[in-house]
Amino acid sequence: MNDPNPFLPGWLTALSEAWDGYLYGSYPIGACIVDAQGQVVARGRNRLGEPRRAHAGVIGGHDLAHAEINALLNVPDMRRPDCLSWTVLTTVEPCPQCAGAIAMSGIRGVSYAAPDPWAGCTRLLTDDPYVSGKGMRVSRAPDPLPAAALRLMLVALLEEGNALDGRLMQTFTPYKQDLKAAVRLHDSGTLSRLRSGGAGLEDALTELLGKPVPAAWLELLQAAAPPRPQTFAPNLSPGLERTGRACAWIEREDGHVLMTEARMGWTLPGGGIERGETPQQAALREAWEEAGVRGEVAGEGWTLDDGAGSVCVPLRVLAQESSPEGKSCIWVNPHALPWAMDEQLRQVLAARGQTPEPLRLPPLVVQAYALALVSGFDRSCSEETGRLLRTLAAGKPGGKLLELGTGLGAGAAWLLAGMSADSTLLTVENDPGRATKAADVLRQDERARVLTGDWAESLQGGPFDLIFSDCAPAKQETAHLDRLVDALRPGGLLVVDNFSPPMYLPDRLHGGDAERDALFAHPRLACSELQVRRKERVILATRRAE
């Protein structure tokens, strides 16, 4: 137990990787590569049960996603002759694939903890004429590491549904004591409960060995796997029904926050809340998966208005490693542009009362959004579209502006924020109740007039310098497009919002979008499409001079 084995830190690192494999729904097999002095060079774990990827030195969800392969891929520089003295420590005897990969990598040492009578193939390293000629060194881990690794693996196999009298489990009958201990742990659900609570390696080893871990191991365990807070809950079952979304606000001492790579830019670490998770647990799990952050909850969260009601949870960093998902991470100043305009960052800053002065909402816009919130109206124009409307309105001094679809006044309030003192705005709403509420807000500005009725009737008041079409009949009935164009002055703008980027198009539009086609093909319009949010685009169309 007090063996001065120089590889002990590496072995505990490998066991930490194996435990993480169990936590994340893969086989509990971990690997660590050490140099001749026992210094950790690289580490990796089995990722067969995780999302499919092959990026940044990580393979997941693929037949190649074994612990030894991932460890080899994480070696920063495989220099010869240095690597000839290195050793791959793995918690389970390598299979043919991994044994071969190690032999061909230039590393000459292999040491394993648990035997694998089903797929283990270290004999390839010693018996094959070609491979044995490389001078491979094969050894075993010191006690009690083999028992801990084997019992953990056996529990996972039992949880997978392998019967004790089946072919696979029968190959382990020579290891009766370990098999008996694994059955007991499985039947009692001990490891499963530890997993649900996000327990650390020390707790797991205590149960696997049936007694507390040696005191000499404790400091090494801290280095191998920094302790997780009790609220840390890894993704145990990818694909379970999600019950919402959560993201993490990870702030550094200098006020910078951590963002991670996304398909369309940068985002706060986050994702779906799995069944049985709290938003706090989901945020902690996502922070680990996407950014390699082991953290703890640092305060109350904020609910974002992002269409999914995401909960943003502030976290404090306990330790940070490379992202298990292979994603890049950056630290940004959320108070400075362009980051302060980001949808997520902007909303958290607003919730904290830290919105930069240039980005604060105009008072009338604040009132319109507040009215929509208390009224349960979720179709107000987005803040990003509103800022665009304000900019476009400022470009029409003395102009006549028209909004089709007042809603509860948010779009009109944004237009008024950009209009010159001598401009006018007519806004039309066919729902009398909404029109009355919007009029109560907008009557504070004498440049605005709210009309209740059919949008088409308002076109008679043209020609207009800008038309913001925000009602379904005007946007979706392309047969009426000529009427909208007729109501514009030459050089006038038609603004149509709520178009989805190709990535988020509904199934019915995979064959094409007739509304886009009609706008871009119209002979009297020059159109451009702008992305204002991750899931929203706006089409700007200018009437050509005739």
Q: Mind listing the pLDDT tens digit for each residue in 129-178?
A: 999 899 999 999 998 999 999 999 999 999 888 899 899 999 999 999 99
Out of 51-55, 58-62, 318-322, 457-461, which region has the weakest mean confidence (pLDDT)? Answer: 51-55
Residue with more model confidence, 3 or 133: 133
Alpha helix (H) ranges present in 329-400?
Answer: 343-351, 363-375, 383-394
- Tell me how many degrees the CA angle 311-312-313 measures, rounded to the nearest 5: 110
Phi and psi angles of residue 274, each rounded to the nearest 5 degrees, phi first: -80, 160
How many percent of the chain have pLDDT more than 90? Answer: 52
Residue with more model confidence, 314 or 25: 314
Position 472 scores a pLDDT of 64
User: Is the omega angle on the peptide bond into residue 338 within 30 degrees of 0, that is, cis?
Assistant: yes
Q: Name 369's Cβ contacts closer than 8 Å, sequence gap at least 6.
A: 361, 380, 410
Position 232 scores a pLDDT of 44
Q: Give the confidence band of 314 by pLDDT, cuts at 50, 70, 90.
A: very high
Long-range CB pairs of 445-451 (<8 Å, 24+ gap) are: 445/364, 445/416, 447/416, 447/419, 447/421, 447/423, 448/412, 448/416, 448/424, 449/424, 449/425, 450/406, 450/412, 451/426, 451/427
CB burial of residue 106 (10 Å; 0-12, 13-18, 19+)? middle
423: three-class secondary structure by DSSP: coil
Judged against a pLDDT cut of 80, whether residue 278 lies above it is answered with yes
Position 185 scores a pLDDT of 92
- Tell me how many degrees the CA angle 4-98-124 measures, rounded to the nearest 5: 90
Position 239 scores a pLDDT of 39
Compute CA distances 317 → 44, 250, 302, 469, whole Å: 22, 7, 19, 47
CA–CA separation, 266 vs 245, rounded Å? 17
Judged against a pLDDT cut of 90, whether residue 274 lies above it is answered with no
Which regions of 254-339 does DSSP assign to beta strands (E)?
257-262, 265-267, 270-274, 293-297, 302-303, 311-320, 329-332
CA–CA separation, 73 vs 56, rounded Å? 9
Q: Region 236-254: what's the mean pLDDT?
A: 69
Tell me which DSSP letter residue 446 carries. Answer: T
Position 172 scores a pLDDT of 95
Position 233 scores a pLDDT of 42
Position 310 scores a pLDDT of 84
Out of 24-38, 219-233, 236-250, 346-360, which region has the weakest mean confidence (pLDDT)? Answer: 219-233
> Using one digit for the tens of pLDDT, what is the confidence trace for 449-506?
999 988 888 888 889 999 999 876 655 545 678 989 999 999 999 999 989 888 778 8
Q: Region 192-218: what's the mean pLDDT?
A: 82
pTM: 0.54
> Could you write out the three-class secondary structure of 326-339?
CCCEEEECCCCCCH
Position 225 scores a pLDDT of 58
Position 253 scores a pLDDT of 85
> Using one digit for the tens of pLDDT, what is the confidence trace for 472-488?
665 554 567 898 999 99
Say how many C-beta atoms besides its own lie within 10 A of residue 227's C-beta.
Answer: 17
Position 235 scores a pLDDT of 43
Residue with more model confidence, 237 or 308: 308
Phi and psi angles of residue 112, each rounded to the nearest 5 degrees, phi first: -130, 155
How many percent of the chain have pLDDT more than 70? Answer: 91
Mean pLDDT of all residues in the chain?
87
Q: Region 86-92: what's the mean pLDDT?
A: 96
Judged against a pLDDT cut of 50, whether residue 346 lies above it is answered with yes
Out of 51-55, 60-64, 116-120, which region has the weakest mean confidence (pLDDT)? Answer: 51-55
Judged against a pLDDT cut of 90, whether residue 271 lies above it is answered with no
Judged against a pLDDT cut of 50, whether residue 236 lies above it is answered with no
The secondary element (H helix, E strand) that includes residue 53 is: strand 53-55
- Tell me how many degrees the CA angle 375-381-382 measures, rounded to the nearest 5: 105
Residue with more model confidence, 234 or 368: 368
Position 234 scores a pLDDT of 45
Residue 476: half-sphere exposure toward Cβ, Cα within 13 Å? 6
Residue with more model confidence, 346 or 222: 346
Angle between helices 201-209 and 176-188 (to 10 degrees): 120
Position 275 scores a pLDDT of 67
> Using one digit for the tens of pLDDT, what is the confidence trace for 65-79?
999 999 999 887 777
Judged against a pLDDT cut of 70, whether residue 362 lies above it is answered with yes
Inter-residue contact 242 to 273 (CB < 8 Å): yes
